[in-house]
Structure formats: structure tokens, C-alpha cells
Structure 1
Amino acid sequence: MKKIILTGGGTAGHVTPNIALVPKLKEAGYEIKYIGSDGGMETELVKKAGLDYVGISSGKLRRYFSWKNFSDPFRVLKGYFQAKKIVKKFKPDIVFSKGGFVTVPVVYAAAKYKIPVIIHESDMTPGLANRLAIKKATKVCHNFPETAAHLGEKAVHTGSPIRAELFSGNKITALNMCGFDSNKPVIMVTGGSLGAENVNKLVRKALPELLKDFQLAHLCGKGKLDESLVGTKGYAQFEYISDEMKDFFAMADIIISRAGANSICEISALKKPNILIPLSAHASRGDQILNAKSYAKQGFSEVLDEDVATADDLINTVHKVYDNRQSYIDAMSKSAGTGGVEKIVDLIKQLSK
């Protein structure tokens, strides 16, 4: 039996693509071990998927000053020795890394034992963790065609792996969960697994006007519920959902979202008209802005700048997208990048012979 180590963590976007590969990997006869961070948010997601999970010490590679910058290199070094021990004992045929800080020691440990490594980069340009890991990679899968220019000969354009269950959602289940009317269109708002404070504020400012024509299912992040809005007709808020996400996607007529690569890949694969509000360059390396611009250019999305967008801007854009929803659906339908599970698993098979 072939063996594979999957690694990725820090956000759901670094975990769910790995999980999307699992059914096809099991079908191909692979024994799977998952390496994440000790106590990381990925722990529960991975265990829920029925995988053998091992946590290692993990630091964070920051671009800003923090006292933790002095201690984290030691945590990363500890993680590297832990990863080496796991790799040596498990003897994988291949390692697949989805990104996040925990993956760097795993990739370097695999390279130490000359085990092939495939990395997947979802964003337009590689993040810091992946830039470090790419040096040791055999191949680098990517999502946007433009990314190949940053990767050289290791680049393989696969698109992003999308979980098969997302295509089997039940609209009625989600409507019942939210207490919604089946005759009024639904907007789903999501800021990713960690929520998005600025998106939440903008949506709630626009809420009274939006509720005249729409119902809103708001996934607002842990600790970010607004108690004053509990019981508002046509508005349902949740900290986070997992198993029901497929049902919420099925229910949504429009999606308002951050522009993390995994999220927007799922949105486009499901052909949902959408408004993207990327994380600003002040709070990130700007990858979400590039992702959003690419999707707008392809006709998939409308984009709002969180630094300047007003409630009126959001309201007007929602009506624009809903009124012209078929044009966005048509553009997404013509796209070839609607999921890369088969391409990635085929590459895994090739390199683990």
C-alpha cells in the first residue's frame, strides 16, 4: 500500500482542499497521515474527516515586529525535528502540502529523506510559507494561470481541489435552519473560517435596506454574533458552519465573501454570483486583492474595497449582481478551473511510483 502525508493548517482554506483529495486517495489505495499544528484549528476538521492526525510545534513567519519573532524560530526548529521523526517512522511515498506555517518543517523533513513533495498554491502569488517550501518541492500545483510565472519549471496548472459534497447541498435544509421563506432571494455572507469584522460591519449597516428585497444568512465568525439582531425577520447569523455549508451554498442566490483563494474557487465551481470584499493591503500581503481582480476581469465577480465601501455601495452592488446574475453564471460556466482533484491525484500517483 502506498503512503501519503497531507499537511496544511492555520485556516480552513489550508485544510479543506486536502480533505477534498481524501476520497480519491483512498480509492487509489493510499494510507493517509495528516500533520498539522499542535492545538491548531485544523485538528477538529481533520479528525472529523476520519484521518490519522499528528500535531507538531509550529511558529509563525511574521512580516511585522513581535516579541514572538524571537521564540518562534525555536518552535519551528522543534517542529522540524518532530516532522523528521514522523516521516522516518511512517515512510511516506509522497507528501502533499497545502500551505500554512506548519507545512514548512514537514516539507523540509520530507526533502531530507528525499521524499517527493507536491505543494499547492491557491493564490495568485505564493505566500511566505510556500515561498520557503517551494525550494524543496518536486512540483507546485497552482490555481491561477498567472501564477506559473512565479514558479518556473515546477509549475503544474491544476486548479483547486473542491470537496465533492459541496455539489450535493439541500436548499430546503438551509432555509429551514435559517427560518427563511422559499419565495424571497437569499444572500449568504461569509468571511471565511475566522470571520471578517469589516465585512460584518458593512453588511449590518446595509441590513435594513437589504432586508426589503432579500434574506441574509450571515456566517460572521467566532465571537462575532450581534445579539441586538437576534430574532430579526429574514436575518440569520451563525459563528461558523461546517457540514451544512453545502446546504447554504445551495440556498444562496448571491454570495458576499472575502477573496481567499479557496473560498472563491468553491464559489466559482458552484457558479454563484458574488461580491468579493478582499482583505486590504494594510492587513495582508495583498493576495486577496489580486485574486479578486482576476475574478472581476473574468466576469465572475464584482469587487468592493473595504477601506472605502459604504453601505450604499454594497446595496447598489447587490442589486446589480442580482439583476444581472445570469451573466456571472454564464462566465463561470465557461471557466475550466472548476476543481483539480483528479489532476492532483494523478500527479500524486505519477510521483509516488
Structure 2
Amino acid sequence: MRKRIVFTGGGSAGHVILNLALIPHFRKEGWEISYIGSVNGIERDLISKVDGVTYYPIATGKLRRYFDWKNVKDPFKVLKGTYQAYRLLRKLKPSVIFSKGGFVSVPVILAGKLNKVPSIIHESDVTPGLANKLAIPFSTKLCVTFKDTVKHIKESSKVVHTGAIVRDEIFKGSKEKGLKDFKFQQTKPVLLIMGGSLGSKKINEIVRASLQELLGFFQIVHICGKGNIKHSLHQPGYKQVEYLTDELPDVLAMTDIVISRAGSNSIFEFLALKKPMILIPLTKEQSRGDQIINAESFKKEGYAEVLQEGNLTKEGLVNKLEEVLQNKEIYLRNMEQYEGDFSVNPIISLINEVSK
């Protein structure tokens, strides 16, 4: 009988990337693939471009750690989403659910438990996010990137250390194609700037204020987020894009240095491709502090430098970039020492083991 898998996860690109890495394998193996996500989340845009996957939207509420009047009505959205997911799972009858986290995943994992469908959750960061914390008690297994994550999980028997996972297509980029598509020179270094899938107002402002100084050293690809392109700044050597999908492997292939947030998925991709980084993690006011821990971990290993957003200035950014460019070979040597293989195989094996 043909096996069926339901993927879930959303709210940001980081909660979709691993699913995108896994889907081609299960499609090749002949599984029936469905995806349960939010109505208007970024996951819907990303999954809509993937062949062989049926997308089902459900209601979802944002889970906040701070006071907001929306906290009063959002639990009802979660309940509605759980009911919708429950009915979908009864119809789809999946062999297993795989969740990458995010707000939309909680109703799906809970509905899976109610339908007696085994589920696997993946946590990329050292400490689990709020959505995963809520979902773990209803899950079958929890995959983790960092071994230290087990210290933060009460149900430690569920934890499986699978290490960092990187999409195969990330390794298939062409430097020559990237340079040609962006009309860049062969001889000048390329700087890639990523403020997260939704963009970063502070990073965008500082980069644009520093643009003339930066263009003296680099050609720049600036991923600035949806609706954040500043058309008055178009000039040779500076390319603004809202988001990259199919072009990303080619852009990464031509990139020499990356400025980025410190989400686990992205920084491990940069490590796998040996791209020295300047990491600007989300502040504790913007997040639970997981990116700060990720960034400091990479700095300790000699893969990256860290600029806290509160200390981010035009002068500080330019000076840090000069430093990283001058010491590029040191970062590359450190990255060569990393022992992980970035393979999806441990997770694929676990899914096959857990599926009904």
C-alpha cells in the first residue's frame, strides 16, 4: 500500500527549508505527500512551487510570550485549526507527520495524537521554541541539531540527535551563472546580505547608509524582504531582491562573505558551503534569544563574527567586514574542521522507522 506523509511547519522560511529538503526523497520513493500550513504564511508560497505536494491551509494563532490583546482571540484560532487538522488527518490517513515547527504545527501535532498518527518534530536551535515546547508532549520523536538540546527537554527519551541538515540543491549552485545573472565581475568579492525571510529594518538601514563604503570592497546581493526594495538605490554592483528561491544556490556559489541573522538552518548552510559570516542575531526583545546562542556558538568555533543589533552602526559594520575579508583564510580553515556531513539520511531513516 502506498505510504502517505504529512509535512507541517511555517511562519518563516526557516520552518520550511528542511521540509523542502526532505520532500524530493519521499516523492522519489512514491509516497503521497501533503502539507498542512497557514492560510497566508510564507510556507504556502514556498510549497506551491513544489510539484507533487497538495497544500491544505488551516487557521492558526500566533503564540506570544508577551501581553497582547490578540492573545485573547488567538487560542480560538488554534482550536479551530486543531479541528480542521483533525478532519484533514482523518481524510488523508497519513502514515506519519513530520513537523519543522512554527505556530501552525501545534494544531497538526495535537490532531495527529488524537488520530493516533505518529509524529516527528525537528528542532534546529539549542533551545526549543515555544511551538515545539507545546507540541513535544503529543509527538513520537524529536530530532535535534545540537546535542545540548537534550538538556532542555523533559521527555529526553524522545530525543534523537540527527545533526545539521542541508538541502542537496544548495551544493549545486554555479558561480559563473550567478555572476552572469547578476551582471557582476569575476574579480571583485561578493557580499550576500540576508535579514531573514521577512527582512530586517535595522540591517537594511545600516547597509544602505554604508553602501558607498561597502561597494568599494564588494559587489552586493541584498535580500531585503518583501516590500523593502528601495528603487532609488539601483546601481551597478548592488542588487536588491525581496527573497531568493531557485536562484539561491547560484548566489551562494558566488558569495565570499555573508551578513545574516543567526537562524540555525541558514548558518549551517553557510558552514556547509564554507562561507565566512557576520551574524546579527535577533535581540531578546524580538525573540527568545535562540539566535544569540547560535551566533555565539559559531563565533566560538571560529566560523563567524558577531554584531549585536543594539551595537550595529555604519562604522562598526564596515570595520567588521574589513576584518573578516582580511582574515578569510582563517575562517575557511576552521570550517574545514567541522565533522558533520549535513545529510538528510538520519531523518529519512527515522521517518521510515516511525511510520505506520
Please state if 1:336 is matched with 2:339.
yes
Report how far residue 206 of structure 1 moved.
2.1
Bigger mean CA deviation after superposition, 156-165 or 9-18: 156-165
Aligned partner of 1:92 among 91, 94, 112: 94
Find the counterpart in structure 2 of residue 21 from structure 1. 22
| Matching residue of 1:113 | 115
2:178 counterpart (174, 179, 182): 174
**Pairwise mapping of residues 1-353 of structure 1 onto structure 2 (< 5 A)?**
1-50=2-51, 51-151=53-153, 152-231=156-235, 233-353=236-356
Do 1:278 and 1:288's aligned partners in 2 also have CA atoms closer than 8 Å? Answer: yes
Supply the distance in 2 between the matched residues of 1:331 and 1:28 (Cα, whole angstroms): 37
Shift in Å at residue 267 of structure 1?
A: 1.0
Give 1:31 deviation, angstroms: 1.5
Shift of 1:302: 0.6
Give percent identity, aligned residues only: 51
TM-superposed deviation, 1:87: 0.8
For the residue of structure 1 that corresponds to 2:288, the secondary structure is coil
Structure 2 CA distance, aligned partners of 1:316 and 1:329?
A: 20
**Offset, 1:338:** 4.5
Superposed CA RMSD in Å reads: 1.4
Instruction: Please state whether the residue corresponding to 1:307 is helix, strand or coil.
Output: helix
- In the TM superposition, what whole-angstrom CA distance separates every residue of 1:180-231 from its partner, at most 9, and x where no partner exists? 1111011010112111111112222222212112111111111212233112
Write out per-residue CA displacement over residues 120-175 of structure 1, whole angstroms, 9 at most, x where no aligned residue.
00111011100000111111111122212112221111123322111111122222
- Tell me the distance in 2 between the aligned counterparts of 1:338 and 1:222: 33
* Structure 2 Cα separation of the partners of residues 154 and 333 of structure 1: 32
The superposition leaves residues 302-322 of structure 1 with CA deviations (integer Å, 9 ceiling, x where unpaired) of 110110122222112112212
The Cα offsets for residues 48-70 of structure 1, whole Å up to 9 and x where unpaired, read as: 11211100111111122222211
The separation in 2 between residues aligned to 1:256 and 1:291, in whole angstroms, is 15
**TM-score normalized by structure 1?**
0.96
- 76-85 or 137-146: bigger deviation: 137-146
2: CA distance, partners of 1:324 / 1:350: 45
Contact 1:268 1:338 in 2 (8 A): no
Q: Could you report, residue by residue, the CA deviation over 1:18-68 in whole angstroms, capped at 9, with x for unpaired residues?
A: 010012222333221110011222112112112111001111111222222
Identify the range of structure 1 (322-331 vs 243-252) with the bigger mean alpha-carbon deviation: 322-331
* Residue identity in the other structure for 1:84: Y
* Alignment gaps of 5+ in structure 1: none
- The whole-number CA distance in structure 1 between the counterparts of 2:168 and 2:331 is 22
- Pick which of 322-331 and 184-193 moved more: 322-331
SS at match of 1:48: coil
The alignment covers a number of residue pairs equal to 352
